[in-house]
Structure 1
Amino acid sequence: MSLRATARITAGAGGALPVLQSAGPLALRRTRALGDTARVTVVGAMSAPLGGDRLAIETEVRDGARLLVDAAAATLALPGRGAHPATYDLRMSVGADAVLRWLPEQLVSVHGSDLRTRTTVELDATARLVLREEQVLGRHGEPPGTLVSRLTVRRAGRPLLDQELAYGPGAPGGWDGGAVLAGHRATGQLLVVDPAFARTPTGTKLLGETAAITPLAGPAALVTAVAPDALTLRRTLDEALRLLAPT
């Protein structure tokens, strides 16, 4: 039987968390705060998402609030009994002078799984965002499942970034070719949106041979990376995080 669950987070100024609502396998825990930044850790309460599951997290960061969301462990996309894919939606809104740092652990696309993820972010013109996504295509020694990931970000009501990535046996041909993954099995990106970039834009910068920082048409920078494994990928994205958003 497929599962439907929506967890909710609302952060207020001064580290307040007026809403912290877990649901199904999405257990939310308030963890040690960092000054006036509230911190929420997502703890997987059961194996999910399975094929056919419909999971979501809705996050609101109110005006002047600061929120860090991380995770206790990697998320495993697992095969289900039915033919329908699982979905995992992340819906976020960040208000005026607010800050959201969304730094989960990796998403592992297990062989035989079929997952569609959708991340949608609405930003105020003065909001700041740090958002990391990491995908590991298959566990050790196995091919990946099918994974389709869509990221849509709007700032002050205008599009900032809208992209879709697809990997695995259900993806269009060429996803594992030299122009995309070139045999690598870990891929990820880091998006940093900061009004300060309007005054001091980020430049294009290579991070080793398989990662790069690219400025966007707006006060934002996107880091894209591929790597042979999850550890190497995390080290690359951590380096980019230190360069673009050190605090």
Structure 2
Amino acid sequence: MSVDATARIVAERGGLPVLRGEGPLALRRTRASGPYTRVTVVGAMSAPLGGDRLAIEAEVRDGARLTVDSAAATLALPGRTPLPARYEVGLTVGEDAELRWLPEQLISAAGSDLRMHTRVELAATARLVLREEQILGRYGEEPGTLATRLAVRRAGRPLLDQELSYGPGAPDGWDGPAVLGGLRAAGQLLVVDPAMEEKPAEPRLLGESAVLTPLAGPGLLVTAAAPDARGLRRVLDEVLAKVLDTLDATP
């Protein structure tokens, strides 16, 4: 039987007026430091399976600071139905608000089929740190089918809109030398900060398989690939630590 569930988070300066989990998406308020409220997503059951429709909505209202992470990796598995699983993430960040969206990895197990769509709406003075990591197959197995889309709008205008596809059914060449070249972990770190309007990031290579690209707006995108989850996290963590130090130092 397929699962249809939506979890919702609303953060204000004074706390969390809405914290509602559903189905496999349990939400817990956890300890945080500084001005941030922290919510951890806890998987209450195996999901997403084929045919499941899951969604998380997070709204960070004006002036609030929110960090969202997860207790464990998300594992996409085959289900009893041939239909793909769908995972929708909707994030809204208000004026002078900040969201740090830092879930654990998404693992695409053999035989699974997952379509994931993340939509982000940012106010003009909002700040965002968003990490996505995809692990293509568990140890020693081929990946399932995974299609992701990340669409970000700032002050009503498009800032970033990209799609990625891996595994069976993906366009030819996804595993070729021009894309992953046999690597099995891919990820990205997106940072949006109004301070970058006056001081944009410089494009540069970060090791052998990672690149930092400034956006056509106050932000940057780090794209990385690695042989495994540990190597990918190491690359992204190095950048993330520098980004968070910079954001924490901003008045």
CA distance in 1, matches of 2:20, 2:35: 21
Structure 1 runs of 4+ aligned residues shifted over 6 Å read none
CA distance in 2, matches of 1:34, 1:17: 16
Q: Does 1:53 align with 2:52?
A: yes
Shift of 1:205: 1.7
1:8 paired residue number = 8
> SS where residue 52 of structure 1 aligns?
coil
Whether the 8 Å contact between 1:6 and 1:58 is mirrored in structure 2 is yes
> SS where residue 132 of structure 2 aligns?
strand
Shift of 1:210: 0.1
Amino acid in structure 1 at the alignment position of 2:43: G
CA distance in 2, matches of 1:245, 1:212: 18
1:186 paired residue number = 185
> SS where residue 162 of structure 2 aligns?
strand
CA distance in 1, matches of 2:228, 2:83: 29
1:155 paired residue number = 154
Residues 245 and 205 (structure 1), Cα distance of their counterparts in 2 relative to 1, 3 Å cut: farther
| Pairs within 5 Å for 1:190-201 | 190-201=189-200
TM-score, normalised to structure 1, is 0.98
Q: In the TM superposition, what whole-angstrom CA distance separates every residue of 1:141-160 from its partner, at most 9, and x where no partner exists?
A: 00000000000000000000
Amino acid in structure 2 at the alignment position of 1:215: P
Amino acid in structure 2 at the alignment position of 1:115: L
Percentage identity across paired residues of the two chains: 72
Q: What is the count of residue pairs matched by the alignment?
A: 246
1:238 paired residue number = 237
| Pairs within 5 Å for 1:1-247 | 1-14=1-14, 16-246=15-245, 247=248
Q: Which runs of 5+ in 2 are unaligned?
A: none
Greater shift, 30-39 or 104-113, is seen at: 30-39
Shift of 1:199: 1.2
Whether the 8 Å contact between 1:192 and 1:245 is mirrored in structure 2 is no
TM-score, normalised to structure 2, is 0.97
Q: Which runs of 5+ in 1 are unaligned?
A: none
Amino acid in structure 2 at the alignment position of 1:208: G
**RMSD, aligned CA:** 0.7
